[in-house]
Structure formats: C-alpha cells, structure tokens
Amino acid sequence: MDAGKAMGGGQWQVMRLIEGLASAGVESTLLARAGAPLFDAARGRGWRVEPIGLTRAVQFARQHDLIHAHDARSHTLATLLHGVPVVVARRVAFPIGEGPASQWKYRRARRFIAVSEFVKSMLVRAGVPEAKVVVIYDGVPILERNPAAESVLAIQKGASLAEEAGALARIPIKLVSDLERELPDAALFVYVSHSEGLGSGVLLAMSAGIPVVASRTGGLSEVIIDRQNGFLVENEAPAFAAAIRQLLDDPALARRIGTAARQAVRERFTVDHMVRRTMEVYGQVLS
C-alpha cells in the first residue's frame, strides 16, 4: 500500500520490491492512489494494482497473508484492518507524534522496516520496541555512466543552496527530476537535504560511479564515508562549493571517489539485497 502523489524514492522502492517479489514467485497486489505515477507505472507493467481506499483495503486484506504499508497514510489505513499482520516501511526522518492516536497506530504494526539506523533510532526513541524494528537499506540498480559527462546535477530539494554553491564554485548546477534517466550524464551530483532518512538519489548516483557531495544529515552518513566514497558537508553554500571545486579540479580524486562509491552500492545497497531482506521479514512475521 502506498498513497503517495508523486514518484519519489519511496515509490521507486515499492516498484523494485514488487518486481523482485514477482521474480521470487511471491504474488502481491498494489493499492495506490489512482492516477498517481506509481499507480500508472505499475498498471503499465501489467501488475495487479487497485485504487487505495478502505473498501478495497478490507477486500484485499482477506485475500493476502500480510499488509506492507509504505507511507504514513497507508500506515493509518492499515491500522483499521484486522486479522492480517501489518509491516510498515519507515523512510522519513520526521519526528513521530506523541499523542494517543499516534501511539496506538505504532503499536498496531507487527514489524517496522527502517531505511537506516538513524530512522530506527527515531522509532525506538518514540517508544517502538527495538525488537520490532529491522533496518533494510534501499536498493538501487547499477547504472552505467557516460565517461565524457561534464554536468553537475542536483535535485529540486535544496535547489537554492545548490545553485548558490554552484555560483561560488563557478560552475552551473543543472536541476533534474528524472534521476535514473539523467544521472548517467553527470560528472558530479550535489544532494542538499535538511532531513534525510537515507537518500536513494545519492545511492543511484553512487551506483554509476558519480562522485557525490551531500549534506551531513540523517542517514546519509550510513551511505557516505566522508572523503572515501563521497563528500559530506554542512548545509552552507561555501562548504558545498569547496567540495565541488576540489572534485572538479582533481580528476584523479573524483575517479577514486566514484569507484569506491560504486563498490559500496554493489556490496550493500542492491535491489536483490533489499528484496531478500524484506522477504526474510515477511517470513518472520508469518511464522
């Protein structure tokens, strides 16, 4: 279940999970917002997808072994269903509400899949028993990079700071939305964030061997080891600009960073690993 309106990192993880489950012989039904990019993409691939809502949730809960809720609205909807175990994905680094309704909602889930140790720590601090929280990192495909690429890319989030840093570094910053399509043509990826569960966009760039300069926040430190497979900096334009300039001025350093980044993804952040670990959680819940 995913009620997201846009096609963000979480929705891409849903797509990759469903595809991986199907390859492993696991049948699933996606409940998503009608007309949303996730709904249309799933239907375009011939997958079983229905508009999300209480009536269909009740109907399909009776036909399935468990519910996997992938966003806050789906989590709320899942709490209203009975007789089927609930697994909840938690990808965001926002504080959890402390009111009675929120606490009841979080007690209802059988397991939480946290996207990082950072997100797990937030769940535990909010009162979720540690034994109910499993960390499973996002998985991304391994992209191929254009070796002649020269562009410096950034996403819309944090665009003003990224553009300010680009001006200080004397390099234009190109803002993109379709990362998987546009990243292979990047020489460098700038990722500005003030709150981050993990950063699947960063993982995509790293998978292509593209050096990343990212904010030192949230779960990003579990992905990037500063100056080994990327750069972590404070959310200040001069700090981003200095890192950008250093990588552009030192091609050998950029190559070393990119190679280490790609290797890190191969070892820890593949789609196969994400799907396999998720299936292990399903097995634990159903045993």
For 79-170, strand residue ranges (E) read 86-90, 111-114, 133-135, 151-155
Q: In this structure, is residue 172 part of a structural domain? A: yes
**Do 45 and 167 share a structural domain?**
no
Count of domains observed in the chain: 2
- Domain presence at residue 3: no
Domain with residue 280: its CATH number is 3.40.50.2000
d(CA 19, CA 192): 30
pTM of the shown model: 0.94
Same domain for 174 and 129: no
174-186 confidence digits (pLDDT tens): 999 888 889 989 9
Q: What is the pLDDT of residues 206-240, one digit of tens each?
A: 999 999 999 999 999 999 999 999 999 999 999 99
- Asked if residue 182 and residue 123 are part of one domain, the reply reads no
Q: Give the count of beta carbons closer than 10 Å to the beta carbon of residue 52.
A: 22
Residue 103 has pLDDT above 90, yes or no: no
Q: Are residues 171 and 116 in the same domain?
A: no
215 and 98, same structural domain? no
Residue 96 pLDDT > 90:
no
Angstrom distance (rounded) from CA 192 to CA 186: 16
- Please choose, from the candidates 268, 246, 282, 245, the residue with its C-alpha nearest in 3D space to the C-alpha of residue 85: 282
- Give the residue numbers spanning the domain of 213: 151-268
